[in-house]
Chains A and B, each alone.
Chain A
Amino acid sequence: MRTGVFHETFAAEERLWDSATQRRWMAAFALALFTLPLWGSDYMLAMACIVGIHTIATLGLNITTGNAGLISLAHGAFLGVGCYTVAWLGKLGVPFYLTLPAAGLLTAALGVLVGLPSLRVKGIYLAVATLAAHFILTFVFREWEPVTGGVPGTNIPRAQLLGFTFIGDRRNFYLIFVIAFAAAIATRNLARTHIGRAFVAVRERDFSAEILGVRLLTTKLLAFGLGAFYAGVAGGLLGYFYGAITPEYFVLTLSVFYLAAIIVGGLGTVLGSILGALFMTFVPEVLRLVAHASSQWFPGVAGLLLPMGQVVFGALIIGFLVFEPHGLAAIWARVRRAFHLWPFKT
């Protein structure tokens, strides 16, 4: 905790941002974000929308895996469930403010179903059980043509509100970021409730948690359900963002992408989810741009430089696992602490 922060009331203790400095920074960040469509390029906005969607999904997986310690390899498929739910309901004329919660709820129900094996198995065994769920769901995406459009995929009608159509990145950006912001705050609050603490207790040692009075059945299924809810909403937004989707998007590597995001970002923290999503989206992009620019200066080695971006990305992830297993969130906390204490301690 930073120095000079004294809580005199319970309300002060309850605040998400407990100092004036934090609140000012948060306000500046929110302002910068919400004015981004006014000053950002189309490319920046497209990337920001993608990061926003990945952030929501990463927050969900961080609840299931980071907070409750239940490994899920079905997260990518959960996104697909959300996306196809929105597509199907959207074609029936259901407005987006109903399709998105419906996508979240349906995916949460599926998440609870997929989470059932977690009552008997854990660790790598649970991962394999969720892997089976992934394959079943992706099979359904390909085969249930009347709803999913099968292998060629399906179109998603654009979200509309009072005659305002969310078409183009500038408009979609607000839809995505309002939800991402709400999801981040909800997750932060969740961690401070008895449910969030029960998740952590289950993660640390489930039978000890049970002795302490935590109901394992409810807690584990709730962790899966909540994580899947976030994935469903993120999938719905993904559908609105692209306007069309095919089953090829929801491959196993998407689940691995989110697992890598929470590990790189930091398990069990909101900031970790955001930083993880940012890292996983932007670092390959930056490396690609650097490789692309370098290949123009050194055309002879272009063929080597472009694939090297992927090698460097892989090395960066391994580097994080080895040198900072607590993720980017821990690095960020250290940097902040250093600035807070400066110049008294360096």
Chain B
Amino acid sequence: MASILRRKLVQSIGAAATLGPFAIGSSQAQAHKGDIVIGAAQPITGVFSFAGVAMNMGLNDYCAWRNSKGGVMGRKLRYVSEDSGFKLDQSVAIFKKIMAAEKPSFFYGESTQWVKAITQDAVAAGTVMTSSTSLASVVADPVNVPQHFVPGPTYPRLHEILMEYIAKTYGANKPRIAYVYADTEFGRDGIPGGKARAQKLGLPIVEEIVTKQAGIDVAPEVAKLRRARPDIIIFQGYILAPMPEFVRQLGEAGLKPQIMGTAWGLDRPAYDALGKLGVNLAGASMYRYGHETDSDMINQMREYLAKNRPDVKSISPFFISSWLSGMVFAAVAESCIKANKPLTLPHMKAALESMKQWDSGGIFGQLADLSGHQVPLGRIYAYDPAKQAMEPASGWIKV
């Protein structure tokens, strides 16, 4: 009798283990008719979780905020996200799972390789538009990646913006520029664009150093920089380390160049740490910072967070980026609904490409042109030691 019970128990556990995950999946698949579904594979755990948590929050909060304002033409936005752990296998599986269960019209992914991996399926499905935190140039391609848009300028465009600013600010005194970048896509992607624009503007690149993303012996690289004696060092591909160590050792060597960076490398952890070292820090940002008050949309974010997430003290650019992607999703949906067209990829792509003067509520300082599936617009910010924050150092630069 005991053996029969044991066998039944083993069978039950086996069945539960096999069917359990799918049962969970189906229980969540209770679609509300008429909702506009936004799916997401967000790296809430894993090496990219520092950004993933903010991105997940940003898109989730945009949907909630928008729904509190009546949704999109009376239709609610429904956000369905799962943790991808920043693993390609997992994020692609999540895409397929949510696509099958929820039939989302929009999807937010975690990385460049995710975009590349799902593109053929997304195009074949013909019913989904995607975005992600990636600013890689290969995914801002209306022909080969037609379903995707980048919520800002790509890395090459950001570096072109930097070079334009340098050329304009320094005038005839052409500064000596050194590049230090990580041997990753995040590090490398923008460099050729930046170098090409520097060459066009007559700006000399006197040193180019490629490092690993982490665990770097900085001393030999600093020795190279000492020999090159650059006026400006542009870091790319790092969130924080090894920039402070570079700066410290450069200071010990008697060098105090202008330090520059772009986008995610100028988030609060970086400017707080570098600011404490007394660095002359500036860089290209695609959005206004979360502490600025002259953007209506960022003010709305701040109000929403103060009311619903009082523990969040500052708005990260990752939060702004995914919120902005949500805004574009909503604008595309609104355009299709107004034109009485179904949310299919050709209609959504046409709607996106018609957004040539789109108002982002001040997240970008000018009307944004999304026709190229990116927004080639940015602004230079410089660290203000008195305010301990990044403050505007230029007008908005379009490239």
**Which B residues touch A296, using CB under 8 A?**
28
Of the stretches A212-220, A266-274, A335-343, the one at the interface is A335-343
Contact across chains for A151 and B93 when beta carbons are under 8 A apart: no
A6, CB-defined interface residue at 8 Å: no
> Given that A248-B185, A249-B88 are contacting pairs, would A243 and B119 also be in contact in the complex, using a CB cutoff of 8 Å?
yes
Contact across chains for A342 and B112 when beta carbons are under 8 A apart: no
The 3 closest A-B pairs by CB, nearest first: A244-B116, A43-B97, A42-B100
> Given that A152-B136, A153-B113, A245-B113 are contacting pairs, would A46 and B96 also be in contact in the complex, using a CB cutoff of 8 Å?
yes
Contact across chains for A335 and B10 when beta carbons are under 8 A apart: yes
Contact across chains for B44 and A246 when beta carbons are under 8 A apart: no
Contact across chains for A152 and B22 when beta carbons are under 8 A apart: no
A155, CB-defined interface residue at 8 Å: yes
**Which B residues touch A343, using CB under 8 A?**
3
**Which A residues touch B3, using CB under 8 A?**
342-343, 346
**Which A residues touch B97, using CB under 8 A?**
41-43, 46
The B interface, classified by DSSP as helix, strand, loop or mixed, is helix
**Which A residues touch B101, using CB under 8 A?**
41, 43
**Which B residues touch A309, using CB under 8 A?**
45
Contact across chains for A41 and B100 when beta carbons are under 8 A apart: yes
> Given that A46-B97, A293-B28, A307-B45 are contacting pairs, would A288 and B113 also be in contact in the complex, using a CB cutoff of 8 Å?
no
Contact across chains for B82 and A292 when beta carbons are under 8 A apart: yes
Q: List 13 A-B contacts (CB under 8 A).
A: A41-B100, A152-B112, A153-B112, A248-B111, A284-B85, A285-B21, A285-B90, A289-B21, A290-B21, A306-B83, A335-B10, A342-B3, A346-B3
Chain A, Cβ-Cβ closest to B44? A306
Our pick among A43, A246, A284, A339 for the contact of B116 (Cβ within 8 Å) is A246
Chain B, Cβ-Cβ closest to A345? B3
B260, CB-defined interface residue at 8 Å: no
Q: Name the interface residues of A275-323: CB closer than 8 Å to any CB of B.
A: 281-282, 284-286, 288-293, 296, 303, 306-307, 309-310
Chain A, Cβ-Cβ closest to B98? A43
> Given that A248-B113, A307-B45 are contacting pairs, would A288 and B28 also be in contact in the complex, using a CB cutoff of 8 Å?
no
**Which A residues touch B83, using CB under 8 A?**
288, 291-292, 306
> Given that A43-B96, A242-B117, A246-B113 are contacting pairs, would A168 and B90 also be in contact in the complex, using a CB cutoff of 8 Å?
no
User: Beta-carbon contacts of B101-140 to A below 8 Å, as 1s and 0s?
Assistant: 1000000000111001101110010000000000011100
Q: What is A's interface to B at a CB cutoff of 8 Å?
A: 41-47, 50, 142, 150-153, 155, 158, 167-169, 242-246, 248-249, 281-282, 284-286, 288-293, 296, 303, 306-307, 309-310, 335, 339, 342-343, 346
> Given that A151-B189, A293-B28 are contacting pairs, would A286 and B21 also be in contact in the complex, using a CB cutoff of 8 Å?
yes
B20, CB-defined interface residue at 8 Å: yes
> Given that A153-B113, A248-B185, A281-B89 are contacting pairs, would A41 and B120 also be in contact in the complex, using a CB cutoff of 8 Å?
no
Rounded to whole Å, the gap between the CB of B190 and the closest CB of chain A is: 12
**Which B residues touch A142, using CB under 8 A?**
183
Contact across chains for B185 and A152 when beta carbons are under 8 A apart: yes
Contact across chains for B85 and A43 when beta carbons are under 8 A apart: no
How far is it, in angstroms, between the C-alpha of A309 and the C-alpha of B28 when the chains are bound?
19
How far is it, in angstroms, between the C-alpha of A289 and the C-alpha of B111 when the chains are bound?
21
Rounded to whole Å, the gap between the CB of A309 and the closest CB of chain B is: 7
Contact across chains for B113 and A339 when beta carbons are under 8 A apart: no
Contact across chains for B88 and A168 when beta carbons are under 8 A apart: no
Range for the number of chain B residues in contact with chain A: 35 or more
Q: What is B's interface to A at a CB cutoff of 8 Å?
A: 2-3, 6-7, 10, 17, 20-22, 24-25, 27-28, 44-45, 49, 53, 82-83, 85, 88-90, 92-93, 96-97, 99-101, 111-113, 116-117, 119-121, 124, 136-138, 183-185, 188-189
**Which A residues touch B188, using CB under 8 A?**
150-151
Rounded to whole Å, the gap between the CB of B115 and the closest CB of chain A is: 9
How far is it, in angstroms, between the C-alpha of A259 and the C-alpha of B44 when the chains are bound?
26
**Which A residues touch B92, using CB under 8 A?**
46, 242
Contact across chains for B24 and A155 when beta carbons are under 8 A apart: no
**Which B residues touch A290, using CB under 8 A?**
20-21, 24
How far is it, in angstroms, between the C-alpha of A45 and the C-alpha of B100 when the chains are bound?
11
> Given that A243-B117, A292-B83, A335-B10 are contacting pairs, would A167 and B124 also be in contact in the complex, using a CB cutoff of 8 Å?
yes
User: Which of A42, A243, A335, A342 has the most C-beta atoms of chain B within 10 angstroms of its own C-beta?
Assistant: A42
User: Which of A41, A155, A249 has the most C-beta atoms of chain B within 10 angstroms of its own C-beta?
Assistant: A41
How far is it, in angstroms, between the C-alpha of A296 and the C-alpha of B111 when the chains are bound?
25
How far is it, in angstroms, between the C-alpha of A248 and the C-alpha of B46 when the chains are bound?
15
**Which A residues touch B10, using CB under 8 A?**
335
**Which B residues touch A151, using CB under 8 A?**
183-185, 188-189
Contact across chains for B89 and A155 when beta carbons are under 8 A apart: no
**Which A residues touch B116, using CB under 8 A?**
153, 155, 242-246
Rounded to whole Å, the gap between the CB of A262 and the closest CB of chain B is: 18
Contact across chains for B85 and A288 when beta carbons are under 8 A apart: yes
How far is it, in angstroms, between the C-alpha of A289 and the C-alpha of B85 when the chains are bound?
12
Contact across chains for B25 and A289 when beta carbons are under 8 A apart: yes
Having A290-B24, A306-B44, one finds 16 other A-B pairs with CB under 8 Å, namely A41-B22, A43-B22, A46-B92, A46-B96, A151-B184, A152-B185, A245-B117, A246-B113, A285-B90, A285-B93, A288-B90, A292-B24, A307-B45, A310-B45, A342-B3, A346-B6
How far is it, in angstroms, between the C-alpha of A162 and the C-alpha of B222 when the chains are bound?
58
> Given that A50-B89, A151-B184 are contacting pairs, would A42 and B99 also be in contact in the complex, using a CB cutoff of 8 Å?
yes
Rounded to whole Å, the gap between the CB of A316 and the closest CB of chain B is: 13
**Which B residues touch A346, using CB under 8 A?**
2-3, 6
Rounded to whole Å, the gap between the CB of B273 and the closest CB of chain A is: 24
Rounded to whole Å, the gap between the CB of B178 and the closest CB of chain A is: 21
How far is it, in angstroms, between the C-alpha of A77 and the C-alpha of B101 when the chains are bound?
34
Rounded to whole Å, the gap between the CB of B212 and the closest CB of chain A is: 11
> Given that A41-B100, A43-B96, A153-B113 are contacting pairs, would A167 and B183 also be in contact in the complex, using a CB cutoff of 8 Å?
no
